[in-house]
């Protein structure tokens, strides 16, 4: 009877169904899960940084797009006065 139990235990061990084998598998799976969790956290952190950089990059690009307005050529004193008044109003 004991011999039969040993044979069954060996067969289950080979198949990976014994309690020792499942404990080892669970330990390996747990280690892998911990690594996966770390990678996910790191990925989320990098993604957050990436979004922040993209926002800054967009702001810089937007600032660069503004073309400075060319001031109109002033040919008379009257135009110069009106030009100065309009510039004063803008400020």
Per-residue pLDDT of 11-34, as tens digits, reads: 777 776 666 767 888 888 999 999
Distances (CA, A) of 15 to 11, 20, 23, 27, 77: 6, 12, 14, 17, 100
pLDDT of residue 4: 81
Chain centroid offset of residue 44 CA: 5
Instruction: Read off the pLDDT of each residue in 38-61 and give the average, rounded to a whole number.
Output: 93
Chain centroid offset of residue 89 CA: 45
- Condensed to tens digits (0 to 9), the pLDDT of residues 65-87 reads 777 777 767 788 888 888 888 88
């Amino acid at each position: 009877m004991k011999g039969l139990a040993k044979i069954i235990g060996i067969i289950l061990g080979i198949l990976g169904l014994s309690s020792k084998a499942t404990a080892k598998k669970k330990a390996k799976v747990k280690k892998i899960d911990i690594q996966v969790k770390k990678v996910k956290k790191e990925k989320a952190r990098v993604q957050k940084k990436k979004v922040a950089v993209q926002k800054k990059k967009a702001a810089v690009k937007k600032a660069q797009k503004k073309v400075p307005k060319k001031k109109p050529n002033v040919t008379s004193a009257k135009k110069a006065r009106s030009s100065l008044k309009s510039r004063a109003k803008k400020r």
